[in-house]
Chain A
Amino acid sequence: MTDQLTTPAPSAVTTPAPAPANASTLRRRRTRRVGPVVRHAILIIASLVMIYPLLWMVVSSLRPNSEIFRNPGLLPIRFNVENYVNGWHALAQPFSHYLLNSTFLVLGCVVGNVIACSLTAYAFARLRFWGRNIAFAVMLMTLMLPIHVVIVPQYIMFSQTGWVNTMLPLILPKFLATDAFFVFLMVQFIRGIPKELDEAARIDGCGHFRIFFRVIMPLMTPAIATTVIFTFMWMWNDFFGSLIYLTTPDNFTVPLALRAFLDSQGTSDWGAMFAMSVLSLVPLFIVFLFGQRFLIRGFATTGIK
C-alpha cells in the first residue's frame, strides 16, 4: 500500500518524447523541470510553519522565563532544566502523580476497548443472529451521537452510585463497547479474514469462543494495535469527561493538572508550564513515532475502502 503512494505519477516521465513538440508539451516539459523544486519549497515552508510552534515550545521550556518573551528564535538552545524542576513540584502533588493517574486511566480504557470492541465486532462480522442489521445500523449511528445528549443523565447516574471523582465513569463505558469507532474498525478487519479459517477450526470442533480467541484474535492484531494506539491518544488527551468526573486534585489526570497549573500561575511561570506541557506530549510523540503506520491505516480503513 505504501509503496503505491510513492510511485511517481505517470506524467512525470523524464525522457523527452521524440514526437513533434507542440506548444503544450513544451510548456509541460518546462514546468516539469521547475515543478519539483517549487513543490519541495512549498512543502518545506509549510512543514516549518506547522512544526515551528512545537519546536519553539520545546526550546523555550529549557530557557529562563525572561527569555521566553524576548526570543522568538530557536537559538541559542540551552539546557536549563530549572523549569522542569519547578513545574514538577508546582502543584500539590509532584507531576509524576498526575502522570500515573493518566497512565492508569489509559490502561483501563485500552483493556476495556480491546476486549469489548473485539467481542462485539466478532459477532457483527461472523455471527448470524436476530436483529443484526438493525443493531449494526444503531451502532453506526451512535458513532455520530454528540456525547452531550447523554452526559447529564450519566453524571446523575454515576453520582448516585458514588462513582463521581473516581475513574470508573470514564473506564466502565469502554468495557461496554461504547466506542463504536473501534467496533466498526474491527468489523471491517474481520470481514477481510478468510472465512475458511473459521470453518476449518469449526470442523476441528472449535466453538465460537475458541474460534474468536484462537483464530480471529491473533489474526486481527493490526486492528487491535490501531485500537490501542487511538484509545491511548484520545484518553491521554481526554478533557471534557475528565473535567466533569474527576473533581479533586488528587485524582487529576495530566490534562486537568496542566489546566490547574495554568489557572494557578496565570501568566507568570510560562517556562515551567511549557516544561510540563512538553512532558505531557512526550508519550503521544513516542506513540506517534512507533505507531504511525497503524494510525494512518486506521484512518484510511475507516475512512474509505
Chain B
Amino acid sequence: MSALGELATMAKTRRRGGVKEKHPDNKPALAFMLPWLLGLLGITLLPMIASLYLSFTDYSLLAAPRWIGLQNFVDMFHDARLMSSLKVTLIYVVVGVPLQLALALALAVLLNEGLKGLSFYRSIFYLPSLLGGSVAIAILWRQMFGTGGLVNQFLGMLGLTNLPGWISDPSTALGTIILLHVWTFGSPMIIFLAGLRQIPQMYYEAAAVDGATRWSRFLRITLPLLTPIIFFNLVLQVINAFQSFTQAFVVSGGTGGPSDSTLFYTLYLYQKGFTQFDMGYASAMAWLLLVIVALFTAVNFLVSKFWVFYDD
C-alpha cells in the first residue's frame, strides 16, 4: 500500500476509546527510534517552529531577528517578482504534471500489451528520469535549446529560419523546462506499469468475449481501475513539481531569466534567503509554499472522490 493509502486508512480507522493497548516494547523501541526522534525534533520540528517565528521577523543573520508582525506577508502580496514566480510555478505544475502523467500512462499501457522487448523499452524510458535531475542534463538542455543548439540545427535542416534561442526568449524559456520535466516521465510510468499488472486479466477476458474494442477496454476497464494510481502519481508529482529548482537554476544561470520567465518560486526563495540573506522573508515564502502545496493536495483529495474508483 502506498504512503498515501496508509495515511488515509489510518485516518479512517481511528482507535476506539476504552480499549487499553499494551505496549510491551517501550524500552527497546526508544533505543531503535532514538535517531529518528532526534531527527524529527532537531532537523524537522524545531526548525519548522523557528521558521514560523522567523516569518514574522526581519532577519538577516547579522543582527537579532526583529518582530515585524505580518509585514513579510503584506510585502509578499505587493512583490511583483514573487507574484510572477508564483505564476511561473503554477504554469509549470498545471501544464507539466498532466503532460508528463499522460505520456507516462500512454506508454505504460502500450508497454503492458505483451510486446517483445518490454524490458528494453522500459529501461530506455526510465533512464531519463534518473538523469533528469542532474546539472549535467540541465547543461545539455542549455545547449540544445540555445540559439545555435541541437534543436535549431534540426529545425534549420527542415528549412526553418529566424529561429529563436528557446532559452533566451522569455516566451519559450519556461516551455523548455516543462519539456525537460515531461522527458522524465519514466518514474511515473514504472508505477503505472506496476498498477496495470494488478488489474485482473479476467476483466479483459470477459470484455473480449463481449467483443469490446481495444479503446473501450481501455476506457471501461484499464482507466477506471488505474485511477487510484493516477491519483497517487498526481499528488506526488504536484508536490514535487512545486519544489522543482535545479533545472531552472542551471538553465537560467541562477537568475530565473530571461525577464523572470523561469524564476520558479523556490528559485526566488533561494535568492531571497541565501543570496540577499533576507531570511525572515524567505521563511514567510516557505510557509506560503507549504500552504499552497497543502491546498493543492487537499483539493486533489477532495476532487478524488468524484473520479477515483476503488475496486473493493
User: Which among B211, B250, B266 is the interface contact of A24 at CB below 8 angstroms?
Assistant: B211
| Bound CA span A288–B239, Å | 25
Known A146-B289, A208-B32; contact A140-B6, beta-carbon cutoff 8 A: yes
Report B230-284 residues with CB < 8 Å from chain A CB. Answer: 232-233, 239, 242-243, 245-246, 249-250, 253-254, 266, 269-270, 273-274, 279, 282-283
Q: Which residue of the partner chain A has the closest CB to B25? A: A127
Tell me if B17 counts as interface (CB < 8 A to partner A). Answer: no
Q: Chain A interface residue count: which class? A: 35 or more
Report B1-56 residues with CB < 8 Å from chain A CB. Answer: 1-3, 6-7, 10, 15, 21-26, 28-33, 35-36, 38-40, 42-44, 46-48, 50-51, 54
Interface residues of B (CB under 8 A from A): 1-3, 6-7, 10, 15, 21-26, 28-33, 35-36, 38-40, 42-44, 46-48, 50-51, 54, 61, 107, 110-115, 117-119, 121-128, 130-131, 133-137, 139-140, 142-144, 146, 148-150, 153-154, 157, 183, 187, 190-191, 193-195, 197-198, 201, 204-205, 208, 211, 213-214, 217, 228-229, 232-233, 239, 242-243, 245-246, 249-250, 253-254, 266, 269-270, 273-274, 279, 282-283, 285-287, 289-290, 293, 297
Q: How far is the CB of A237 from chain B (nearest CB, A)?
A: 5
User: Chain B residues with Cβ under 8 A from A254's Cβ?
Assistant: 135
Tell me if A88 counts as interface (CB < 8 A to partner B). Answer: no
Report yes or no: A173 in contact with B198, Cβ–Cβ below 8 A. no
Report yes or no: A149 in contact with B35, Cβ–Cβ below 8 A. no
User: Which among B38, B112, B229 is the interface contact of A5 at CB below 8 angstroms?
Assistant: B112
Give A127-146 as 1s and 0s: 1 = Cβ < 8 Å from B's Cβ atoms.
11110110111111111111
Known A9-B204, A176-B43, A258-B136; contact A153-B110, beta-carbon cutoff 8 A: no
Q: Pull 14 A–B residue pairs with CB atoms less than 8 Å apart, ordered by A.
A: A8-B114, A46-B125, A72-B154, A120-B35, A128-B22, A146-B293, A155-B273, A173-B39, A207-B28, A208-B32, A243-B249, A281-B131, A296-B122, A296-B190
Report yes or no: B114 in contact with A12, Cβ–Cβ below 8 A. yes
Tell me if A51 counts as interface (CB < 8 A to partner B). Answer: yes
Report yes or no: B128 in contact with A69, Cβ–Cβ below 8 A. no
User: Chain A residues with Cβ under 8 A from B10's Cβ?
Assistant: 133, 136-137
User: Chain B residues with Cβ under 8 A from A135's Cβ?
Assistant: 33
